[in-house]
Structure 1
Amino acid sequence: MTVTDFDTSLPSIRQVQTLIKNTGTVEFKVVTGDLLKGRILWQDPNCVCIVDENSQQIIIWKSAIAYLKAGNRE
C-alpha cells in the first residue's frame, strides 16, 4: 500500500466517511486548543476539509486533530 491509499479497514476512516455521507455538523478539537465546527466535505490520507457556518472551507491536517465529535444531523 502506498502512502496515498486509504486503508478502509480502519474504523476511523470508515467513521469519517460515514460522517461525510450524513452531512451533519462535526466538532474538531485541534492540538492548539481551538474548536472548529462544520460539515466534513472530504478527507484524504493527510487532511480533512470542513465547511463552517459561513461557508468557509477549512482544511485540517489530521496530525493536528486531538478529537472529533459528531453533532446534530442537519
Structure 2
Amino acid sequence: MTEFDTGLPSTRMVQNLIKEKKEVEIKLMSDDLVMGKVLWQDQHCICLVDHYDQSTLVWRQAIAYLKPKV
C-alpha cells in the first residue's frame, strides 16, 4: 500500500477545494458526470456530497478529470 502524498500538487488542489467548500465537477472514465463539494480524500477515493446531502464515493482510478465549478 502506498502512502498518501500530501506534497503532490493534485492533492493540495483538492485539499484547497475542501477547505474553500467549492463545488466541483468530476467526469468519470465511464462518461458519467458527478457534481458536488469534496468532503474528504484519501489515497484511493474522493468523497463528494451533493446538494441533497447525498454522499458519493469516487475511486480515483475512475476519474477522467476533476474541475472546480465556475
TM-score category, normalised to shorter length: over 0.9
Equivalent AA in structure 2 for residue 59 of structure 1: L
Q: Pick from 39, 48, 51 the counterpart of residue 49 of structure 2.
A: 51
CA distance in 2, matches of 1:64, 1:29: 9
CA distance in 2, matches of 1:46, 1:6: 9
CA distance in 1, matches of 2:49, 2:4: 22
- 1:57-68 alignment to 2 at 5 Å? 57-68=55-66
- Matched length: 70
CA distance in 1, matches of 2:20, 2:53: 18
How high is the TM-score relative to the length of structure 1? 0.89
- Segments ≥4 residues shifted beyond 3 Å: none
Equivalent AA in structure 1 for residue 62 of structure 2: A
- 1:1-74 alignment to 2 at 5 Å? 3=2, 5-72=3-70
CA distance in 2, matches of 1:24, 1:9: 21
CA distance in 1, matches of 2:19, 2:61: 23
Q: State the Cα RMSD in Å.
A: 1.1
Structure number, greater radius of gyration: 1
- Mark the runs of 5 or more structure 1 residues left unpaired by the alignment: none
CA distance in 2, matches of 1:8, 1:46: 13
